[in-house]
């Protein structure tokens, strides 16, 4: 990606065409903000300085670009830039949004600056209104994080214990911000203590497709591992219910700013597992509201109950489409009684093994 220094005549061989034009048609977010780094990627690196992308000085000094790259790079760059210009011309005359987005992706997917940002920039900092960044975000997610998510949903039996299946259309990041300092992105299936999860999480919903501004979404967090002593089985409880949450490609965070009486149908209740029961699964489901219609909040409140919640009936009755999911697990720890006191919950049960 970063080349050694090149002669001035080769440096001038880069055509300052479409990839150098940051106008209304091309967002400045497509380029690299650091001029020094951009200079090295496009024009080469002084031998004694080394690539800025390498952190350790010893590695920068040792670096040498492949033989012949300095001669080939300008030729390839100019050819790909000419092809990109053709794609932009076609995109201008195309009214179909899907075809236009595909042309814009083809125009930028081989741009060295875009490739560098897609490989080394935090995905949270992408401009998701730009089709090529959604393309690389989707590609990267399906190659790794998406496979982990689906594997955890299936091996932990979130599917089909809660919903039948999932065709993911977005990536869901889950974080807990509290005094513990645990604000990292939670990996699907991770076991979290009650001290971490006693406050409501923050969700980041990254859509892989272009969505209109203020598209409406719903969020459910359910626990299908609540002991049902009467029937000697388990039942599902509703730990959180949000509806009519407005999201867009860049405005994709669900936090306290978007939670109010009109969007929060039932307040967040942290997991407080009983002592000596297996791990509890806290399943997060993100739904897109069909035809972007607002749900009647009064009807929703009458429909939901904290205990014995039927998630499939709720989804079907409100015409919701599952587009993303997440899951974490909780077990009893010494802080659970404190969490129960904070939320005015009764003391939990203590289960013992009974020989048959």
Torsion angle (degrees, nearest 10) of CA 123, 125, 131, 133? -40
Residues 6+ positions from 315 with CB-CB distance below 8 Å: 163, 287, 322
Q: Per-residue pLDDT tens for 15-60?
A: 777 888 887 678 888 888 888 888 888 887 777 777 877 888 888 7
pLDDT (tens digit per residue) in 109-121: 999 999 988 888 8
pLDDT tens-digit readout, 57-106? 888 788 777 777 778 888 899 999 999 999 999 998 888 999 999 999 99
Domains of the chain: 8-121 (1.20.58.1180), 139-342 (3.90.280.10)
The span from the CA of 221 to the CA of 155, in Å, is: 19
Residue 353, classed as helix, strand or coil, is coil
* More confidently predicted of 55 and 209: 209
- The backbone region for 229, taken as left when phi is positive above 0, alpha when psi lies in -120 to 50, beta otherwise, is alpha
Averaged pLDDT, 163-176: 94
Whole-number Cα distances in Å, 200 to 8, 149, 239, 254, 310: 57, 21, 10, 11, 22
Backbone torsions φ then ψ of 7, nearest 5 degrees: -65, 160
pLDDT score for 1: 47
Contact 175, 204 (CB under 8 A): yes
pLDDT above 70 covers what percent of the chain? Answer: 92
Using DSSP, state whether 237 is helix, strand or coil: strand
How much is the pTM? Answer: 0.87
Angle made by CA atoms 255, 261, 264, in degrees to the nearest 5: 55
Q: Is pLDDT at 9 greater than 70 in this prediction?
A: no
């Amino acid at each position: 990606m970063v080349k050694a220094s090149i002669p001035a005549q080769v440096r001038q061989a880069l055509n300052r065409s479409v990839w150098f034009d940051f106008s209304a048609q091309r967002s400045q977010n497509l380029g690299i903000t650091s001029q020094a780094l951009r200079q090295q990627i496009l024009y080469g690196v002084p031998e004694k300085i080394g690539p800025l992308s390498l952190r350790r000085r010893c590695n920068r000094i040792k670096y040498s670009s492949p033989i012949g790259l300095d001669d080939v790079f300008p030729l390839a760059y100019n050819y790909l830039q000419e092809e990109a210009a053709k794609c932009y011309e076609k995109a201008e005359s195309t009214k179909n949004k899907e075809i236009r987005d595909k042309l814009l992706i083809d125009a930028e997917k081989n741009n060295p600056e875009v490739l560098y940002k897609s490989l080394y920039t935090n995905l949270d900092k992408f401009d998701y209104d730009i089709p090529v960044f959604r393309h690389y975000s989707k590609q990267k997610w399906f190659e790794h994080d998406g496979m982990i998510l689906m594997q955890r949903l299936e091996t932990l039996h979130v599917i089909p214990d809660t919903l039948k299946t999932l065709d993911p259309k977005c990536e869901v990041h889950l974080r807990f911000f509290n005094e513990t300092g645990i604000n990292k992105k939670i990996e699907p299936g991770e076991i979290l203590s009650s001290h971490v999860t006693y406050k409501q999480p923050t969700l980041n919903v990254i859509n892989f497709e272009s969505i209109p501004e203020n598209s409406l979404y719903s969020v459910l967090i359910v626990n299908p591992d609540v002991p049902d002593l009467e029937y000697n089985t388990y039942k599902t409880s509703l730990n959180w219910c949000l509806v009519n949450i407005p999201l867009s490609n860049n405005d994709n965070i669900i936090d306290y700013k978007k939670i109010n009486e009109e969007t929060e149908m039932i307040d967040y209740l942290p997991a407080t597992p009983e002592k000596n029961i297996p791990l509890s699964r806290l399943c997060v489901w993100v739904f897109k509201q069909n035809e972007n219609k607002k749900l009647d909040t009064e009807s929703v409140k009458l429909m939901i109950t904290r205990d014995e919640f039927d998630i499939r009936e709720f989804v079907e009755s409100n015409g919701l489409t599952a587009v993303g999911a997440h899951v974490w697990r909780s077990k009893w720890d010494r802080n659970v009684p404190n969490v129960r006191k904070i939320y005015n919950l009764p003391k939990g049960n203590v289960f013992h093994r009974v020989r048959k």
